[in-house]
Chains A and B, each alone.
Chain A
Amino acid sequence: MIYGKMWCVVKPSVGIPLFLSAVAIGSFSVHLAIVSNTTWVKGFLNGKAPAAVTAPAEAPSGKK
């Protein structure tokens, strides 16, 4: 297996918590950024229905 011998030089007691922490912190950061920078998460969690996708209203056609 590729990189299988890395644990000969990296102590698993250091490398594995480091790896799991990187995954956890990265994942948490992405989700926090989504919750902080959008409005629909809060709305959805408070029971607001997703906004229906509507086609933009056609511009009134004036006489030429």
Chain B
Amino acid sequence: MSDHQKVWPTGLTEAESEEVHRQLIQGTQIFGMIAALAHLLAYIYSPWLK
């Protein structure tokens, strides 16, 4: 049933869809790490939660 060559309504194959998703997840992880670092710095150097 799973045809890897099938082009779905969005114009992508399953492999291409997985690739888009991998990049989006990676971007989210990098954004999250930068945000966590920014929050750590804000916690240390600002009166936040003090």
Interface residues of A (CB under 8 A from B): 1, 3-12, 16, 19, 23, 40-41, 43-44, 50-51, 53
Contact = CB atoms under 8 A, between A and B. Distances in A.
Interface size grouping (class) on chain B: 20 to 34
Given A1-B21, A40-B46, A44-B46, 5 more contacts: A4-B22, A5-B14, A7-B20, A8-B17, A51-B50
Given A6-B21, A19-B24, A51 B8 contact: no
A53 B12 contact: no
A8 to B, nearest CB: 4
> Main SS of chain A's interface residues?
helix
Given A8-B12, A11-B10, A12-B12, A44 B47 contact: yes
